[in-house]
Structure 1
Amino acid sequence: MDNKETFIRNATSSEHEIIGDLLVRAYSNLNGFPRKNEIPEYYNYLQNIGSITVNDSVELIIACNEHNKIMGAVVFFKSMELYGTDGIAPQQKNASGFRLLAVDEKFTGQGVGKKLCLECIERTRKLNHESLNIHSTKFMPIARKMYAKMGFERSEDLDFSKGDVYVYGYRLYL
């Protein structure tokens, strides 16, 4: 664990392109995850992630170091309507969600992902929601292990498939 301070804040519009690049790198580097040529619309979504923050209920949260270098990012949904997945997740009431958690490879192992998760948990508590919903895949074993340690429970009712990718649902009850 690095002793340097990590700052958590909402991204500015001038950082959206950098975050899009980070997301594309992170997801394309997942072992076995479909490549850009297999799901170009998904990678286009990642690259242009800032466009979803036009709605006040969606926040692009970043972790940065003391030099303001972006270490990781996550998309937080104050309500589930705009969560943007298949399955029942978008219909969940009294719940928040997060998606697309990614950490720059230069900063892995420094607790950046956990700090972003904790920020989403805190924001969910401030909204007085009863749960925080998330999704993961078999291609993300490190993230799934972290979620389990943080108290997220597998919620098969949130599962869905997107093409050949099976997506696992998780909930943290607050």
Structure 2
Amino acid sequence: MPKENFLIRNAQPSEFEETGQLMVEVYSELKGFPKQADFPEYYDLLLHIGRLTEKPEVTLLVALGPEEEVSGAVVYFGDMSQYGSKGIAPNESNAAGIRFLAVSKSERGQGIGKALTLACIQKAKESGLEQVILHTTHTMMTAWKMYEGMGFQRAEELDFFQGDLHVYGFRYFL
């Protein structure tokens, strides 16, 4: 079992740029995932991920390594109307959402992705919500398997297409 050498907390504005760069790096390296030239608006959103925290009930969580570097991050949506995806997910009530999970290549395998996901689940529980919703793709199979192992269930009604990319919905009931 990997030793947890990281701290999970809300990102500080001074960490937004580093976090955005990490997200662009992680998503651009996914084999089969659309590249920046094909999906410029998405990558701009990733690069400026801190802007999402200006919306109500949106939190950017980071995992900090021993040198206080951003090793991973995720965006938690306490209000699904702010979730920003296609499909029916933004209309879900009594639910929280998780998007944009990213862990630096050098820090993978240490449980950072799982710890960030668990922190989001805990926030949803503390808010008295009934479920957590997320989306993933076949290009993110490591995360997909992690989510299923944590108890997330496929929810086909939440699926949508982003261009040619099939995006798959999942629910975790609290």
Shared fold, TM over 0.5: yes
Is residue 83 from structure 1 mapped to residue 112 from structure 2 by the alignment? no
Q: In the alignment, is the contact (CA less than 8 A) between 1:134 and 1:169 conserved in 2?
A: yes
Q: What residue in structure 1 maps to residue 123 of structure 2?
A: 123
**How far apart, in 2, do the equivalents of 1:157 and 1:139 lie?**
20
* Structure 1: stretches of 5+ with no match in the other structure: none
Q: Corresponding residue for 1:7? A: 7
1:77-133 deviation per Cα after TM superposition (whole angstroms, max 9, x unaligned): 011000000000000000000100000001001100000000001001001100000
Q: Alpha-carbon deviations, 1:121-171, whole Å to 9, x = none?
A: 100100110000000001000000000000000001110001010100000
Runs of 5+ unmatched residues, structure 2: none
More moved, 59-68 vs 84-93:
59-68
Shift of 1:4: 4.5
* 4+ runs deviating over 6 angstroms: none
Cα contact 2:75–2:100 (8 A) shared by 1: yes
Q: Which moved more, 1:111-120 or 1:49-58?
A: 49-58
- Structure 2 residue aligned with 1:68: 68
Sequence identity, in percent?
45
Which amino acid letter does the alignment assign opposite residue 163 of structure 2? Answer: G
Which residue in the other structure is 2:17 paired with? 17
The alignment partner of 2:139 has SS state of: coil
Greater mean alpha carbon deviation, residues 1-10 or residues 64-73: 1-10
The reply to whether residue 53 of structure 1 matches residue 53 of structure 2 is yes
Secondary structure, aligned partner of 2:36: coil
Tell me how large the CA RMSD over aligned residues is: 0.9
What is the aligned partner in structure 1 of residue 149 from structure 2? Answer: 149
Equivalent residue letter for 1:80: M
